[in-house]
Amino acid sequence: MNARANQIPLSFPLTPSMAREDFLVSDSNREALAWIDRAPQWNAPALYIYGPAGSGKTHLASIWKSRAPEGVLIEDLDKIAGNRAQEEDLFHLYNRVRQNPGSVLLTGTLPLAMVKFTIPDLASRLRACPQVAIGLPDEHLLRALLVKLFFDRQMRIDVAIIEYAITRMERSFSAARDLVAQLDQWSLTEKRSVTPAMVRALLMPEQDELFADETHA
């Protein structure tokens, strides 16, 4: 990608919609959404949702907070595990919620069986709570996700570009977000709309360089 040195795109904070109706539903996340929709009637003090980065856990947490405003959200449980002071705080929080009406939503990237806790009692309590996984996006969800990501950035994209990207990109939430962010940056730098050539250059740089060499031979 050859960006012009004298053109600096301005970055503006993104505020994607976190409303319930804007959550993209597929088989990979349907169960997690069903649990959120039942909140706070979980018949358990806590619920743990885990899945890859960018899979919609923050969006689900936002929906949950609208249904259970007094609830406590604990994100990135995997990063808390191993820190004894933070584990003790969570252990006391869990016990308070178990004794009094309330609920805790925890999120992370690993199943609880793989999270290495320092405090055994905390581990046993959390592993007794319901946990639900968010899987990788299928083609339908990936397509909808790309549309939403472009829309959140107020980018008008031809449907053909989205279809072109889907057949060539890694099927993951993070890959979709990275691709849209890079295309947005490139579009702003070059002051032009996104083209299939831009997508090809980002997803298949080796082929793009070969194509450029052949055209200039």
pLDDT tens digits, 43-57: 899 999 999 988 999
Q: Where in the chain is the domain with CATH 3.40.50.300?
A: 26-133
pLDDT tens readout for residues 5-25: 344 444 445 567 788 998 999
Low-confidence ranges of the chain (pLDDT < 50): 1-12, 210-217
Report the pLDDT value the prediction gives residue 208, as an integer from 0 to 100. Answer: 55
Class of domain 139-215: mainly alpha
The burial of 166, by beta-carbon neighbours within 10 Å (0-12 exposed, 13-18 middle, 19 or more buried), is given as middle
CATH among 3.40.50.300, 3.40.630.30, 3.20.20.80, 3.30.420.40 for 26-133: 3.40.50.300
Residue-level pLDDT at 84: 97
The whole model's pTM is what? 0.78
